[in-house]
Structures are given as C-alpha cells and as structure tokens.
Amino acid sequence: MSEPPLVHIPKQKTVLPAAETASIRDVMGSFQVLRSSVLELFGAAGVDPTKTRELARDLGLNRGLAWKLSRVARSIDGTDVAHDVPGKQSMERFITVCEQRGAHASLISKAREATDAFERSVASCSGGRKTLAMLLANSGENVASQDRERSRRMLFDGACSVWGVQAQTRFVSVYLCPSRTAPGMLDAAHVTGYIGFRQFGSRPWPMSYEAVHDKDGKTLPINKDPLDDVGYEEGDLQLLREFCEPADPKIEVQMQGDYKVFNLAAGPVGNRGLTTCVFGSFLRSIYSTTTNEDHESAGFMVMLQTPVERVIFDYFIHDSVRHSGEVVTHMLDRLTYPHDNRVENFDAQSMAIAEQGYDLPRGIDGAATAHLPWYPRLMQFIETRTGYGINEFHGSRFEMTYPPISTTLSRRIEIQ
C-alpha cells in the first residue's frame, strides 16, 4: 500500500490583535479628571493647594509629595507636570489622609478611579513616566517672560503701597449662548469678581464696571437679568452670594461716565476685611448671530484697576455659535488711552504681552483651577441658569500673574 503524497502546507503567520494604545490627548484627558479630583479633595480637607508648606504640615505629608500635588493642582495645561504626577501608592496616601479628614465617600471613590484611569492611560501611551516626559517635552506652551513678570511684580508691590489695596485673583467667566427668547440673538452669562481682596485704608472701592459699547465706542442700553435674584437693590441683585465671603458684602452703585460702577463700601482693613466678592448677570440679546455693521464681533472686557496677583479670563462659546478664528486677546493701555473703546484702535492701544490664551479641555473638570476652589460649583450654577450644559461650550482661558494697572483686558471673537 503506497503512502499518500506529501502535501506542503504553508506556515500561517500568527497575527496578534493590535494592542489598544492611548494617545497624548487620552493621557491629558485622564490627567484633567485626576487634577479636578485632587482639587476637590484639597477643598474637602480644608487646605490651600497653592501653599505647599502649609498643606504638607496640615495633611502630614512629606514636602516632596505635597509639592507634586500642589503642582498638579496649579498646572495650566498639564503638559508641564503630567509626567510628575505622584505614583499610585503616594496618591493612595494622600487620598487616605483626606478620607480621614472627612472627605465624602463619592470624592474618595472618584479620586481612586481617576488615579487608576491615569495610570492605565500612561502605561498604554508610553509605558512609563520617563517616556511620557519625552513625549510631552514639546507639547506645552511656556512662553511667559520671567523678566516681564519680575517687572510686573515690582509694579504690583508699589501699586499696593500707593493705592492701599490688593487681591489674590481677579477673574472673569463669560458664557456666550443662543438666546432662548429672541431668535437670531445671543445672550451671555457674565460672572466676575475678586478672591482675597483687602484694603489697608478704609474707603469705598470699585469692584465691577458695567457698560456695553458698539464697535465705534458708542454706549448701548443694557438688557440684563440677575443670575441670583436674592435682594431688592441693584447692588444686591448683582451679587452671587453663594460664592461671596462674607455672603452679604455691602455694594454701592454709582455712574462714572459711561460706566455703572459697583463699589464695595468702606469697611475693616487688613485681614479683618478680607473679602471674596462675586458678581453675575445674564445679558440679554447682546449680539446678533449674523454679521452686520453693528455686530461683527462679540467681545467682553475687564478693567484692571486693582493690584492683583493673578487675572483669569475664561471665554466659553456655545458650539452652535459660528465664528472664525481663535479668541483674540488684547491688554489695552488705559493710562494713555483712558476713554477710547473703538475696536479698530485696539491693536495700536495694546501692550506687548508674552502670555497667550489657550483652549480648555471640554467640561467642568477641564476648567477646574486651584485659584477658584468653587469654580466647578459655579459652572454647575451657570448650567442651571442658562439651560445649556457646560459640555455644549468650548472654552478659552487667558491667565497672567501681576497684570499691570491701569489696563483693560479684552477678549473677542469674530462672528460669522
């Protein structure tokens, strides 16, 4: 019996399924959630993430871990610090301490899940922290000039002494969205204020200026509703008491030229008068959704008349608002040009700045900042008031330390 002929069977190449890999964007997304969780735990533990020595002492952590956690909380876009996030065991030590200090179980669970998610994304993207550092080395935008900041710091110190007033943070948060009552028009929720404001002499001080101008600088009437309707007088209705400390600052309203000014009444000086004062209003039908001679850009401004350590200006634009290009930022010289609000003159009036605006990761977690500990809660408040979810907006942030006075910070978009 003959044997069957041999049949050559070619070797099959084994094809392994492709491993799922995370992108840099995935890593930074998980970093933003982790950073938000760290900020929430700092708040629940009652410590200031900007003061490394104090938080190390209060939480009983070594200074190295406290420094890393503080850097995570204070990071701007994460590319400068994501590779230096504390490891899982160190994060667990921090989380446990916060749990012992009474942090809610939901925050503890979120922090642990965020830590695990970040570790998985790093392992999938780069395999480890060292390689991640190489990938991120050219991803950030570190363009701030140390020399300019040093000069502004000297100006800040002198201005505090001369004017007898200072604040930790000046912030503006604008939410541009379609009007629900006037088709073809845009509304804007506008929130602004000071954190850590104090005076060294007792006198009224302007905390917020209100005016609407067209592109030629002409004053327009204001149609607004309060974001918080507690109170009877306009000064009371302008406040967001939930975010003020103390909750009932006395506000005096007066007109100065084109501007309505909301002054904090004279009160205690030094730390006895330490104040966080937050204003908000819902501006109705402030811009048209179509370009015409009267409305070709949608811009908002904040007058910097008080020496502050930091200014933060967030501009959130609803996804349905059609516009061209990025948010344009000007720091206008109001010492030399105190009364000119013509948009065509802004380029000539602008001071040279190294800082640039940058896009915020979408959602509440992406906008969290150590300098506004209640910011996520404020954004939830805005969601309720406008009826639009924060995830429906894309945001841009401009941040500067020791901004010079007297200036006006302007941010605007060109409407299509």
Task: Please check whether residues 201 and 253 belong to one and the same domain.
Answer: yes
User: If you write DSSP's letter for every residue of 284-298 in order, what string do you get?
Assistant: EEEEESS--SS-SEE
Output the pLDDT for position 148.
76
Task: Please check whether residues 409 and 293 belong to one and the same domain.
Answer: yes
* Last residue of one domain, picked from the residues 136, 154, 177: 136
Task: Please check whether residues 131 and 242 belong to one and the same domain.
Answer: no
Tokens read off for 179: 């009007």
Flag whether 12 is in a domain. no
Flag whether 155 is in a domain. yes
* Last residue of one domain, picked from the residues 136, 168, 195: 136
Task: Please check whether residues 227 and 286 belong to one and the same domain.
Answer: yes
Please give the single-letter amino acid code of residue 198.
R
Output the pLDDT for position 162.
93
Task: Please check whether residues 405 and 313 belong to one and the same domain.
Answer: yes
> Cβ distance 284 to 187 under 8 Å?
yes
Output the pLDDT for position 147.
63
Flag whether 207 is in a domain. yes
Q: How far apart are CA 414 and CA 242, in angstroms?
A: 34
Give the DSSP letter of residue 194.
E
Closest CA to 284 of 237, 226, 324: 226
pLDDT in single tens digits along all 416 residues of the chain: 444 444 444 444 433 333 457 788 888 889 999 999 999 999 999 999 888 888 889 999 998 899 999 989 888 777 777 888 899 999 999 999 999 999 999 999 999 999 999 999 888 887 877 777 777 764 544 434 566 787 889 999 999 999 999 999 999 999 999 999 998 999 999 999 999 999 998 889 999 999 888 888 888 888 999 998 887 888 888 999 999 999 999 999 999 888 889 999 998 888 888 999 999 999 999 998 875 555 578 999 999 999 999 999 999 999 999 988 889 999 999 999 988 888 899 999 999 888 889 999 999 999 999 999 999 999 999 999 999 999 999 999 999 999 999 999 999 999 87
Q: Which residues lie closer than 8 Å to 114 by C-beta, 6 or more apart? A: 30, 33, 34, 36, 37
Flag whether 245 is in a domain. yes
Owning domain of residue 35: 24-136
Please give the single-letter amino acid code of residue 65.
L
Flag whether 141 is in a domain. no
- Helix or strand or coil: residue 346? helix
Structurally, how many domains does the chain consist of? 2
Angle subtended at Cα 267 by Cα 266 and Cα 272, rounded to the nearest 5 degrees: 150
